[in-house]
Amino acid sequence: MGEPDDLVERCRRGDPEALEELVQQHGPAILRLLARYVGDLGRAEELFQETWLRVKSGLKRFRGEAELGTWVYRIALNLARDDRRRQGRQLDWRRAATESIVASPVEQLARSEQLERLQRAVDELPEPQREALVLSKLEGMTYRQMAQLTGAPEGTLRSRVHWAMAALRRQLGELGEA
Amino acid sequence: MADEREDILDERSERLLRYLEGGLEPAEREALERRLAEQPDLAAELEALRRTDRLLGELRKLDPVPAERTERAIWLAAARMREPAGGSVARRRRLGGMVAAAAILLAMGVGYFLGSLRGPQDSVTKEVIAQGVQPRVLDGVLQWLDEPEAGGQPASAGELLPWGQALVVAEASRIDLGDGTQLGLEPGAVVSILEPAEGQLRLEVSGGRWHLAGRKVPAAVVVADGATIQTQAGEVEVVGEPAEGFNGGGSGPVGIALAVFSGVVTLSNPAGQLTLGAGEMATATVADSPAKRVWEPSVQSCIDALSRWYGLSVFQQYEVGQLLSELRREQDWLVAPHEEELEALRERMSHFWLAQLENHGADARQYLEDHARYRQLLNESPYRLESILAQVEAILPAAQVSRAWSEVPQRDRMAERLGVTPSVLRYVTRRYELTGEQLIRLEQYLRGDRPSGEVLQTSFDDLVAAVNAVVPAEQIRRADRRAAQQFRQRRERRDALLAQLLPQLDWSQPQAWSEQVQQFARRVRLTLGQTDHARRVAEEITAVALPYYESASKKLAALERQMAAESDPAEQRRMEAGREELVRPMRAWADRLRQTLAQLATLEQLELAYRPTATDAF
């Protein structure tokens, strides 16, 4: 998530090109994270725009205590957490399935019943464990990156991921898939 | 939960997971590997965890966001980031209480104001929503509330107002809301800039009079007779006949998103070209060749497109947003119900041509049938975007709708002259069989004493009243009779198709009803929303019908045995009546389910579903 210092400085000065560079650099991963987190692409896109509005408005307050990328991720993650809390835990699978009609990669997911069941099982995990699993296994973050992002100790995050893995294994095992 | 956790994450699982992650000390690892070799169940557990991990790896490989959606989102975010940054950040202060109050108002559903834009509003607290990012003072003077560190300096022309701030109007002021809308405030009004929600700028106004000035926005492009539209993303050209469509993608580099209602157009750019017929939708961007799509925009992007097209005010955007959200909840959004079949037909037809090219045997008759069906689907299927536009137009002032359509160059000049939309004119002309001469008289009637240069804006009701005034009464009566007849025919056709397609739900087979409902849903291609509704009703009904049937069937069997043994006709009639009593609820439930299915399917869906058998066709 690291960026050159001059990008950070230019962003803080409000240099439009630097801000755009920041969006280009982190945007795809953040949108993906939001889509995975909230389970609704349309909503993820809305949160994505809100993330950058907050980044823009808050840049001057950014003191460099974390890396700029981590800070942006944290804003996105907080928005996604709030949204999920507001929406309740149930994802709208019917809508996700409808969207998958046009989204070829997601369409593949929808076609794969096994992966869909896995996705559903992930969604049913308790929130802290689900978040840790999404960041670790689906977003490929290290425990250190996760700790920087969430503020939780690495050991806690590791045990959340392990707990989630064991729960998934048990659930998929009951379905005869693991 | 604590017990459950312990159940799931026992020490054994923890150790195995750490082993998988490579997190064990060498001595621990060796000890575990020895145990794995000795204990098959432990090895099996490890293998199961490995499989789970592999599955998660597969899930990770699937990108949940299609590339074009990422591109669009990035483009939009980057554009917003390029807009000038906000000023006076030092003055930023959260209005916790006010924001919370606004949130409560929003939650109660009374925070939005859907009033008229014409006159100044009174001092009740209202929320204003705009598409901009940060409001800016155009003129006047506003005093910051509760901001001693601002040194008492008021906000004046050019100042950007940060979120979380509240200001009181000292001198009449105007605030630019960033999307072309201007908020005019009179002295004493208090304006609070709330945190944006869903990408929309939100302001709260109270304590004084205020008004909103409308904005001028360029209309979205509509393809018309002989028109060629050029954007950075590509070119749209009408082929042969007049065509009509809707461009939801704007004219910027983000691209074209064109839905064609009628006629044929080509969409081309340096990367490629494709031809679109009625009911089809395609997108093109600067970087990508045109591609056919199923139209599936988010509510927000739809609002954006409709705002460009109709010049919606911020309040109307909210209202339209509500309508679209409602439609999205009820329907499969804009996905055409026959999309799968179209796709299958396209594939079969392309296989036919491949087989022809390779000199393999190809079934020409099948191809002709497929082709005919394909054309039928394209020409006759309702395109949902069109119906959505109709619903949006129903909640907008006729003048605004008329303006949106009449801004299109080279459109139907008569519609423009009458001040109505082309679709309204088409409908009225067809219904009353208006002649060209009558149309001119209609215009004269509507214009009255108004100067010829003045643009007419006519509501639907006014148009129909004018038709009644200028058209002979017999012609009107004929039109009404014809409309009534068409309505009857449509109802009869629907009844006839329902008789063919509705399942016969046998009262004595309630366990089969759900499956029969599913079969009907598949055959008629009910939308997901319709299918869900049908399934829910079927579940509700069978939940009561099944236990009833189980208990009633025993009584029925006993009754039938008694009836067989009974020789007294009076007694037999009494038993028959008793049997009918037992069966009646089952029949009622079956009828209710059939009625539900009958009400759900549209005539167009039934038409598409009904295919004559081979014997009928040849």
Summarised one tens digit per residue, pLDDT across range B13-48 is: 888 888 888 888 888 888 888 888 888 888 888 888
Q: What distance in Å separates residue B150's CA from the closest CA in chain A?
A: 17
Chain A residues whose beta carbon lies within 8 Å of the beta carbon of residue B528: 94, 97-98
Q: Cβ contacts (< 8 Å) between B77 and chain A: which residues? A: 23, 27, 48-49, 51-52
Which residues of chain B does A80 touch, with a Cβ-Cβ cutoff of 8 Å?
none
Any A CB within 8 A of B325 CB: no
Q: How many CB pairs under 8 A join A and B?
A: 184
Tokens linked to B505: 């739900």
A115 touches chain B (CB under 8 A): yes
Which B residues, 263 through 302, put their C-beta within 8 Å of a C-beta on chain A? 293-294, 296, 298-300
Closest CB from A23, A108, A169 relative to B52: A169
The pLDDT score that the predictor gives to residue B512 is 92
B82 to chain A, any CB pair closer than 8 A? The answer is yes
pLDDT at site B224: 44
Render pLDDT for B203-212 as a digit per residue (tens, 0 to 9).
Answer: 887 766 666 6
Chain B CB within 8 Å of residue A23 CB: yes
Minimal Cα–Cα distance from A44 to chain B, Å?
A: 9
List all residues of chain A from 64 to 93 with a beta carbon under 8 Å from chain B.
none
Greatest Cα pair distance in chain A: 56
Q: Which of B15, B56, B60 to mutate to test the interface with A (most CBs of A within 10 A)?
A: B56
CB atoms closer than 10 angstroms to residue B125: 17
For residue A124, the distance in angstroms to the closest alpha carbon of chain B comes to: 14
> Tell me, what's the pLDDT at A133?
92
User: 133-152 in A: which are within 8 Å (CB) of B?
Assistant: 133, 137-140
Which among B51, B133, B333 is the nearest to A53, CB-wise?
Answer: B133
Q: Which residue of A has its CA nearest to B528?
A: A94
> Of the given ranges (B8-22, B105-119, B187-201), which has the lowest mean pLDDT?
B105-119
DSSP conformation class of B226:
T
Q: Which residues contact B453 (CB under 8 A, 6 or more apart)?
A: none
**Which of A28, A61, A101 lies nearest to residue B70, judging by beta carbons?**
A28
Mean pLDDT of B550-555: 85
Interface of B with A in 114-133 (CB under 8 A): 133
Distance CA A173, CA A171 (A): 5
- Lowest pLDDT segment from A132-141, B33-42, B238-247, B590-599: B238-247
In tens, the pLDDT along A113-124 reads: 677 778 888 888
d(Cα A40, Cα B530) in Å, to the nearest integer?
Answer: 21
As a whole number of angstroms, the distance between CA B108 and CA B127 comes to: 13
Q: Cα–Cα distance between B323 and B161 in angstroms, integer? A: 31
B244 residue type, one letter: E
Residue B210 and residue B174 in contact, taking contact as beta carbons nearer than 8 Å: no
| Least confident piece of the model among A158-172, B85-99, B237-251 | B85-99
Q: Do B335 and A98 touch (CB under 8 A)?
A: yes
Can you tell me the mean pLDDT for A70-92?
A: 74
Cβ-nearest to B17 among A20, A139, A165: A165
Please give the average per-residue pLDDT across B598-612, as a whole number: 75
Looking at the complex, does the CB of residue B151 fall below 8 Å from at least one CB of chain A?
Answer: no
Question: From residue A167, how far is each of B48, B489, B595 by CA, in Å?
Answer: 12, 60, 45
Provide the mean pLDDT of chain B: 70
Mean local confidence (pLDDT), A134-163: 87
Q: Which residue has the higher pLDDT, B356 or B594?
A: B594
B17, B52, B324, best to mutate vs chain A, most A CBs in 10 Å: B52
Q: Which residues of A113-127 are buried (b: 16+ CB within 10 A; e: fewer)?
A: eebbebbebbeebee
pLDDT, tens only, B63-112: 777 776 777 677 777 766 765 543 322 222 222 222 222 222 222 222 22
Asked if the C-beta of A159 comes within 8 angstroms of chain B's C-beta atoms, the answer is: yes
Which one of A19, A105, A118 has the shortest CB-CB distance to B66?
A: A105
Q: For A47-77, what is each residue's pLDDT tens digit?
A: 888 888 888 877 777 777 677 888 888 889 8
Q: Is B101 on the interface with A (CB under 8 A)?
A: no
Return the H-helix or E-strand segment holding B191: strand B190-197
Asked whether the beta carbons of residue A46 and residue B57 sit closer than 8 angstroms, the reply is no
Residue of B8, B14, B19, B72 to mutate for A, most A C-beta atoms under 10 A:
B8
ipTM above 0.85 for this complex: no
Q: A112-178: which CATH topology?
A: Arc Repressor Mutant, subunit A (1.10.10)
Which band of pLDDT confidence, cut at 50, 70 and 90, is reported for residue B613? Answer: very low
Q: Would you state the pLDDT for residue A94?
A: 31
**The pair of three-digit structure tokens given for residue A48, joined into one six-digit string:** 């994505």
Residue B20, class by beta-carbon neighbours within 10 Å (0-12 exposed, 13-18 middle, 19+ buried)? middle
- Fold assignment, A1-109: Rna Polymerase Sigma Factor; Chain: A (1.10.1740)
- Residue B277 binned pLDDT confidence (cut-offs 50, 70, 90): low
Residue of A nearest to B89 (CA): A60
pLDDT value for A105 = 37
pLDDT at A109: 39
Say yes or no for a CB contact (<8 Å) between B196 and A53.
yes
What local confidence, expressed as pLDDT, does residue B515 receive?
92
**Which residues of chain A have a CB within 8 Å of the CB of B85?**
14, 56, 59
Is B59's CB within 8 Å of A119's CB? yes
B341: exposed, middle or buried (Cβ count in 10 Å: 0-12, 13-18, 19+): middle
How far apart, in Å, are the Cα atoms of B610 and each of B383, B496, B617?
A: 19, 11, 12
Predicted local confidence at residue A119, as pLDDT: 81
Please tell me what DSSP assigns to residue B537. H
Task: Answer yes or no: is pLDDT of B516 > 90.
Answer: yes
Contact A94 B162 (CB under 8 A): no
Nearest to A138 among B60, B332, B532 (CB): B60
- DSSP secondary structure, B48-72, as one string: HHHHHHHHHHHHHHS-SS-HHHHHH
Picking from A23, A35, A25, the residue whose alpha carbon sits closest to that of residue B77 is A23
Residues B114-135, mean pLDDT to the nearest whole number: 49
Is the predicted pLDDT of residue B308 greater than 80, yes or no?
A: no
B18 touches chain A (CB under 8 A): yes
Nearest by CB to A36, from B64, B83, B196: name it: B64
Q: Would you list the domain boundaries of chain A?
A: 1-109, 112-178
- Find the closest chain A residue to B296 by CA distance: A99
Answer yes or no: are the C-beta atoms of B526 and B605 closer than 8 Å: yes
Top-confidence residue, B231 or B505: B505
How large a percentage of chain B has pLDDT more than 90?
Answer: 2
Flag whether residue A37 sits within 8 Å of chain B, measured between CB atoms. Answer: no
- Scanning B422-441 for CB atoms below 8 A from A yields none
